[in-house]
C-alpha cells in the first residue's frame, strides 16, 4: 500500500500572468487585456490537475517564503486544490518566494521572465518518502536534485515519469515513461525521434509538438510512433502549462490502468482545454467533461 498515487517533484512559484494582443516593441507600450496572480511552476501545474481529477497527490517543490507571496500561495492551494497534500512542501523564513511573469499574447504563445532562482531548490527526495508513492514525476529545472530524485524513486520501487530529461541517458533507462517537447528534437522528425529513443532504451517515449499533436512510442512495441492529434480549438487564450497538463493526463491514465495510447489521447484533450484560460492550470477541465470528450473522439489518433 502507498500513501499517494503521485509525488510531483520540482518547481513551485507564484505566477503573474498578463494577457495582451502582442509584445510591445522596444521602448513601446501595449495595454493588458487580462491579468491573473496564481500558483505556478511545472510541479504545481501537474499536481493541481491530478488533484482536481481525484488522484492522490503530494507536492514536493522548491521552497516558498513565509512572505505575503508565500502566504498567498498557501491560501491558494487550500482554496483551489484542497485535497493536494502539502506535507512535503517546504515553507521557509529564509527565502523570498520565487515568481514568474508570463506574457500571453493573442497568437497563443507566451513569454516568461523569472526571479528567485536561488530559492528553487526542492528538498532531497529520500527512499523512505519515494516508496510511499506509486509514481514520481519531476521537471529538470534543478537538474542534479531532480536526476537524483528520479533515481531514488526508481530504486525505491516507484514508477518514474520524466519530463524533458533527454540529456540524461541514465534517466532515460530508468524512467517508465519519458516525455519531451519538440524543442528537444533538432532534426524535426518527431515520430522518428520518439521511436529512436524507445528502441535505444527499451522504454516508452512521448514527444509533444504543440499544435502538431504528440507522438507515442510505446515500450514493447515496434515500428513507427503513434500520432495523437491535438484537439482543435477556435482560439487559444494561453498555452502556458500545456505540457504540464499533458503530463498530468499521462499520469492519470497510468493510475487508471489505461493503455498508453488512451492515456495520450486523454492528455491531449486535457492540455488543449487548459489553453482556453489564463495560467498554467487555469483551464483544467472537470474530469467528467474530459472523459465525455474522450468517448466522443474514438478516431482522434492521427487525425
DSSP SS3 for 6: strand
Q: pLDDT tens digits for 201-254?
A: 999 999 999 888 999 999 999 999 999 998 888 888 888 899 999 999 999 999
Average pLDDT value for the chain: 92
Nearest to 179 by CA among 188, 166, 192: 166
**How far from 37 is each of 12, 98, 149, 279, CA to CA, in Å?**
14, 13, 30, 9
Name the band, by pLDDT with cuts 50, 70 and 90, for residue 302.
very low
Q: pLDDT tens digits for 126-175?
A: 999 999 999 999 999 889 999 999 999 999 999 999 999 999 999 999 99
Q: pLDDT tens digits for 96-121?
A: 998 999 898 988 788 988 876 655 68
Q: Is the pLDDT of residue 297 over 80?
A: no
Specify whether the CB–CB gap between 205 and 194 falls below 8 A: yes
Q: Is the pLDDT of residue 74 over 70?
A: yes
CATH superfamily placement of domain 4-296: Ribokinase (3.40.1190.20)
Name the band, by pLDDT with cuts 50, 70 and 90, for residue 1.
confident
Chain centroid to CA 296: 25
Amino acid at each position: 500500500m502507498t500513501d499517494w498515487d503521485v509525488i510531483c517533484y520540482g518547481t513551485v512559484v507564484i505566477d503573474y500572468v498578463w494577457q495582451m494582443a502582442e509584445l510591445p516593441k522596444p521602448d513601446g507600450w501595449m495595454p493588458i487585456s487580462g491579468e491573473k496572480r496564481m500558483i505556478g511552476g511545472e510541479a504545481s501545474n501537474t499536481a493541481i490537475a491530478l488533484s482536481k481529477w481525484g488522484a492522490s497527490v503530494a507536492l514536493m517543490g522548491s521552497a516558498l517564503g513565509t512572505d505575503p507571496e508565500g502566504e498567498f500561495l498557501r491560501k491558494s492551494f487550500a482554496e483551489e486544490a484542497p485535497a493536494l497534500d502539502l506535507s512535503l512542501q517546504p515553507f521557509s523564513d529564509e527565502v523570498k518566494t520565487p515568481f514568474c511573469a508570463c506574457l500571453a499574447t493573442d497568437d497563443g504563445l507566451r513569454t516568461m521572465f523569472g526571479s528567485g532562482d536561488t530559492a528553487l531548490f526542492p528538498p532531497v527526495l529520500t527512499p523512505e518518502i519515494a516508496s510511499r508513492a506509486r509514481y514520481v514525476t519531476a521537471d529538470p529545472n534543478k537538474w542534479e536534485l531532480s536526476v537524483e530524485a528520479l533515481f531514488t524513486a526508481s530504486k525505491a520501487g516507484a514508477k518514474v515519469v520524466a519530463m524533458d530529461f533527454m540529456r540524461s541517458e541514465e534517466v532515460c533507462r530508468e524512467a517508465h515513461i519519458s516525455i519531451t517537447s519538440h524543442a528537444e528534437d533538432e532534426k524535426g522528425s518527431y515520430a522518428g525521434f520518439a521511436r529512436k529513443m524507445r528502441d535505444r532504451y527499451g522504454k516508452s517515449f512521448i514527444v509533444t509538438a504543440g499544435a502538431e499533436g504528440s507522438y507515442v512510442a510505446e515500450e514493447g512495441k515496434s515500428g513507427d510512433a503513434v500520432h495523437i492529434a491535438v484537439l482543435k480549438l477556435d482560439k487559444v487564450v494561453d498555452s502556458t502549462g500545456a505540457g504540464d497538463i499533458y503530463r498530468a493526463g499521462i499520469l492519470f491514465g497510468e493510475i487508471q490502468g489505461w493503455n498508453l495510447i488512451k492515456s495520450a489521447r486523454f492528455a491531449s484533450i486535457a492540455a488543449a482545454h487548459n489553453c482556453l484560460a489564463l495560467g498554467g492550470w487555469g483551464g483544467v477541465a472537470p474530469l467528467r467533461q474530459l472523459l465525455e470528450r474522450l468517448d466522443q473522439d474514438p478516431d482522434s489518433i492521427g487525425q
